[in-house]
Structure 1
Amino acid sequence: MKTLNEIASYLSVINQPKFNVNPEIKGIQVNSQKVTESDLFVCISGYTVDGHDFVDQAIKNGAVAIIAEKELNRNDVPVLYVKDTKQTLSLIANYFYDFPSNQLHLIGVTGTNGKTSVTYLLDEIFRCNEESTAVIGTIQMKIGDQVYPIANTTPEPSYLQHSFRKMVEQNIDHCMMEVSSHALELGRVNGCDFDIAVYTNLSQDHLDFHETMDDYLAAKLRLFSHLGNRYQLEQPKFAIINQDDQYANDFINATSQRVITYGIDQEADFTARNIQLTANGTQFTLDTGEQQIDITTPLIGKFNIYNMLAAIATAYISGVSLATIRLALSQSNGVPGRFETVKGDHDFSVIVDFAHTPDSLGNVLTTIRTFATQKIYLVVGCGGDRDRTKRPLMAKVGEDHADYLILTSDNPRTEDPLTIISDMEAGLTGKEYTVEVDRKKAIEYAINLAKSGDVVLIAGKGHETTQTIGKETLPFNDYLVAQEAILNKLQ
């Protein structure tokens, strides 16, 4: 625990305030509903709500002090005013939990696609090496075998630093964390001491937030420019970069740390050669320049080779042998909702995938085309209240690579689903397609169309178990809906 005066002193603010009381702080919260006795409440001005409007509730729930950036005009509890509460939150969360990431082997993975897959592959590899792991990302947070739900791909700083402290106390060997562009832009990972930063790729996404690709790129580059500017013999830092990506040199130039590259088409430190892609798995030869080793894995597709190369390079420089890496990849379970085949006694294939960008959708459809013997049916939508410019691009990719499209809802949120679909239709050039707003009916329709040898791809939501319509979040699982539709068809 820290006292309020200790926290205020750490911030080094001008005109240091003098409080009549100096309460001990037991926790830091940004959600007034989660405040408990003796917490410090930090007012964050968000996109939909402003924490300054919930100070009364925070105090009622037990907050003993407030940090704000707007005048509150109250004297019932101490208020510390700062210029930017978002930046301040990262600072005090690090300090409050005694800089836990300094005591972890922390691996940050960023990029448009592949972040979840790389972190889960690393989890499998390190566990195969009999090491303890933690994973933070889109699906969940996992510390050892304990699973925790999270609201964002990269959590807000107080929750994040508290989680790091748990990991230190449980003697976790490696923590793999997805680092989103939002988190980098909003300073959620400021102060995190990353040992390895991994870059997968960059393609259009989140332009509702970043506005331009240059802004999106600049946010991603922060992970590498913040990787430390001093060299440490006892704990070296590394940047792992996809050499085949068009932005590779931007990331190489952004860091002062040691760079390790991986790729398929370009020469790199870790290269995949002699690639064989099948409907049941993948084989390739890993070339490190000094060693060559054959890899056989049930993971499917070229995009998964990139994910594996990123994980291989990261695990290898973290001390895992190539023999152990090969063993882990040979028995990989993959990631929920990432190219996940719906099991059952049917003679057609149904695949659920999280692909929600034009690039990732194209990768998945290209992979399916390598083994599909008949038609490919695609069920796809786009999220509401998000980047509108990618909607026609998503539809065009679907039209180019699938035989038949069923356009439907994803998470429409507060937008009219038909408006979203209309935006998608603007990218189509004439191939026949169907519109079915109800996602459950769209999935059922595609599965009922499928004949022997066909493939149905249900794209966009992957592992998600809910659908957000308006302000409501309702239960919805693509995999379970597809499984039920298959059973009904076979009856």
Structure 2
Amino acid sequence: MILSALLQNVDWTLLYGEEKEINKITYDSRKVQKDDLFVCIIGFQTDGHKYAQKAIEAGATAILCEKEIQSDNKDVTILQTSNTRHALAILSANYYNHPCNSMNVIGVTGTNGKTTTTYLIKSVLDTIGHKVGIVGTIENRIGDKILHADRTTPESLELQELFYEMKQENVTDVVMEVSSHSLDLHRVDGIEYNIGIFTNLTQDHLDYHKTMENYKIAKSLLFQRSEKSVINIDDNAGEFMKQNAKGEVLTFGIDKQADITAKEIDISADGVKFTLCYDNKQYVVSLHTPGRFSIYNALGAIGACIFMGIAMEDIIAGLNSNVGVAGRFQTVKSRKANAIIDYAHTPDGLENILNTAREFVKRKIITVFGCGGDRDKTKRPIMGEIAGKLSDYCIITSDNPRTEDPSAILDDVEEGMKKTNCNYIKLVDRREAICHAVEYGQKGDLIVIAGKGHENYQIFADKTIHFDDVEEVKKAFGEDNL
């Protein structure tokens, strides 16, 4: 592809050089091949501009930079733009010939509920025979084919490549989680969403965004790019998202007046049942995942399906066919206590699952949890206090410590726990913590293992090991596992 065609809709200045035929685009100097375009990205750990010369030596024929660079090789074309992250997104869409334009693209953003909402929509679309692509935290999917996911929303180049593969496989609808990082870091620039969904906004990622206001503004970018928006109006940020939406809006909620609402709610250990109210009609909806938060996820999914013109009976059947998502209120049963494994890693997420558990647990709630290292430190004591108030016994343990001292993270969490009357213990080793919870638990108790959910690894300063909460609790249950 010629360079000028790749640069369509990108603002750029030619520093020197001429038109080139480009092999492919890359932002990783280690992957450069002959006649590639190398894009210099300023990252958190390093700056791509430092590797421009290395890229040229590896065969790059053109360089796109943000900061002016020099090269002795005058056969190389060097261009400058104001934001290479934004440019990379547009270049990538151009390179793959805008694959999104031939698919229905639904974006889901919010602190909690993104993954479950995407899979509820997928279940409905599966029911009516559509071929669905998923971009998300747990995995990426092309129909039945499962692909590994490194982050919630991939970098723009990998994202457009994934869309291209979906198009080649005749995917009709893409349902994707859209993280605040991806919006703020321009990974999803150039994508026009048919539908955007807002689940909620609670404290998370303040290590990056610094303030909740910045976090909220980043989330709102999705609705400025969506033809239609589905917004949780019960959430404090719902009205802000609605005001920032450029197209038609459907609101949903339980407590406030909304276009789509739920009443006559019945929550049990096996799921929820409620009456859906929309367009002066009422429908009975059943879900297999318990909790009030499950209703919000379903209402968001219903709104998107209404915008797609799907019949209500198909929507309800699709929702009922969804058996849940790995690591999202996932139950492991035993002859003694049962366990719930959940990804809850934010104050609101932890509060939701513990409140839900309290609605049907007959005896004690035993909570095993920790907080990630190199992430928002301010939420640690908050989560400690929430766990202490809503549990009968807590085991504070490691999550993904990363480069931080695991014991210091536990101490931060403990500061909040001390404000409650809850009995607790600190065990740095997560396997030991899970085993202790199983030994402590009695018949009728519930062990809530929170924070990692679907993750099958644990990240330390010097290594990443295999670690799966579901596997570990099953091993701890031993012969009592059902």
For the aligned pair, the TM-score class normalised by the smaller chain equals over 0.9
Question: Relative to structure 1, is the Cα distance of residues 75 and 170 closer, same or farther in structure 2, using a 3 angstrom cutoff?
Answer: farther
Question: Relative to structure 1, is the Cα distance of residues 276 and 489 closer, same or farther in structure 2, using a 3 angstrom cutoff?
Answer: closer
TM-score, normalization: structure 2?
0.95
- Find 1:481's aligned residue among 454, 472, 477: 472
The alpha carbon displacement at 1:97 in A equals 1.9
Counterpart of 1:426 in 2: which secondary structure? helix
Amino acid at match of 2:17: F
Indicate the residue corresponding to 2:355 in structure 1: 366
Indicate the residue corresponding to 2:232 in structure 1: 242
Alignment of 1:304-453 (within 5 A): 304-343=294-333, 345-428=334-417, 429=419, 430-453=421-444
Is residue 89 from structure 1 mapped to residue 88 from structure 2 by the alignment? yes
Q: For the Cα contact (< 8 Å) 2:11–2:81, is it kept in 1?
A: no
Is residue 164 from structure 1 mapped to residue 157 from structure 2 by the alignment? no
Task: Please give the per-residue CA displacement for 1:303-327, whole angstroms capped at 9, x wherever unaligned.
Answer: 0011011111111221221111111
Alignment of 1:220-299 (within 5 A): 220-227=219-226, 237-299=227-289
Indicate the residue corresponding to 1:19 in structure 2: 17
TM-score, normalization: structure 1?
0.93
Amino acid at match of 1:175: V
Distance 2:146 2:119 in 1: 14
Q: For the Cα contact (< 8 Å) 1:8–1:80, is it kept in 2?
A: no
Counterpart of 2:478 in 1: which secondary structure? helix
Indicate the residue corresponding to 1:139 in structure 2: 138
Counterpart of 1:305 in 2: which secondary structure? helix
Amino acid at match of 1:460: G
Task: Please give the per-residue CA displacement for 1:361-396, whole angstroms capped at 9, x wherever unaligned.
Answer: 000000000110111100010000110000000011
- Find 1:456's aligned residue among 434, 447, 455: 447
The alpha carbon displacement at 1:358 in A equals 0.5
Question: Relative to structure 1, is the Cα distance of residues 113 and 372 closer, same or farther in structure 2, using a 3 angstrom cutoff?
Answer: same
Indicate the residue corresponding to 1:31 in structure 2: 28
Distance 1:7 1:146 in 2: 30
Structure 1 stretch displaced more, 417-426 or 363-372: 417-426
Q: For the Cα contact (< 8 Å) 2:366–2:447, is it kept in 1?
A: yes
Counterpart of 2:477 in 1: which secondary structure? helix
Task: Please give the per-residue CA displacement for 1:9-58, whole angstroms capped at 9, x wherever unaligned.
Answer: 653424x34525x4422322222334444432212111112222334554
Task: Please give the per-residue CA displacement for 1:208-258, whole angstroms capped at 9, x wherever unaligned.
Answer: 00101111111111111233xxxxxxxxx2110112111111011111311
Distance 2:328 2:480 in 1: 24
Amino acid at match of 2:397: T
Q: For the Cα contact (< 8 Å) 2:266–2:274, is it kept in 1?
A: yes
Counterpart of 1:162 in 2: which secondary structure? helix
The alpha carbon displacement at 1:290 in A equals 3.0
Question: Relative to structure 1, is the Cα distance of residues 411 and 142 closer, same or farther in structure 2, using a 3 angstrom cutoff?
Answer: same
Indicate the residue corresponding to 1:47 in structure 2: 44
Distance 1:40 1:99 in 2: 18
The alpha carbon displacement at 1:176 in A equals 0.7
Q: For the Cα contact (< 8 Å) 1:412–1:469, is it kept in 2?
A: yes
The alpha carbon displacement at 1:197 in A equals 0.7
Distance 2:145 2:33 in 1: 23
Question: Relative to structure 1, is the Cα distance of residues 8 and 199 closer, same or farther in structure 2, using a 3 angstrom cutoff?
Answer: closer
User: 5+ unaligned residues in a row in structure 2: which ranges?
Assistant: none
Distance 2:307 2:81 in 1: 41
Distance 2:107 2:428 in 1: 37
Question: Relative to structure 1, is the Cα distance of residues 60 and 402 closer, same or farther in structure 2, using a 3 angstrom cutoff?
Answer: farther
User: 5+ unaligned residues in a row in structure 1: which ranges?
Assistant: 228-236
Indicate the residue corresponding to 1:68 in structure 2: 65
Distance 1:468 1:111 in 2: 25
Distance 1:182 1:461 in 2: 19
Q: For the Cα contact (< 8 Å) 2:123–2:321, is it kept in 1?
A: no
Q: For the Cα contact (< 8 Å) 2:16–2:78, is it kept in 1?
A: no
Indicate the residue corresponding to 2:182 in structure 1: 183
Counterpart of 1:287 in 2: which secondary structure? strand
Amino acid at match of 2:38: F
Alignment of 1:101-140 (within 5 A): 101-140=100-139
Q: For the Cα contact (< 8 Å) 1:448–1:489, is it kept in 2?
A: no
Task: Please give the per-residue CA displacement for 1:177-231, whole angstroms capped at 9, x wherever unaligned.
Answer: 111111111111111110101000111110000101111111111111233xxxx
Structure 1 stretch displaced more, 134-143 or 37-46: 37-46
The alignment covers a number of residue pairs equal to: 478
Structure 1 stretch displaced more, 370-379 or 5-14: 5-14
Q: For the Cα contact (< 8 Å) 1:135–1:177, is it kept in 2?
A: yes
Question: Relative to structure 1, is the Cα distance of residues 9 and 136 closer, same or farther in structure 2, using a 3 angstrom cutoff?
Answer: closer
Indicate the residue corresponding to 1:231 in structure 2: none
Counterpart of 1:67 in 2: which secondary structure? strand
Q: CA RMSD in A?
A: 1.9
Q: For the Cα contact (< 8 Å) 1:42–1:66, is it kept in 2?
A: yes
Distance 1:8 1:124 in 2: 38
Structure 1 stretch displaced more, 283-292 or 78-87: 78-87
Question: Relative to structure 1, is the Cα distance of residues 490 and 150 closer, same or farther in structure 2, using a 3 angstrom cutoff?
Answer: closer
The alpha carbon displacement at 1:260 in A equals 0.2
Indicate the residue corresponding to 1:230 in structure 2: none
Distance 1:341 1:164 in 2: 33
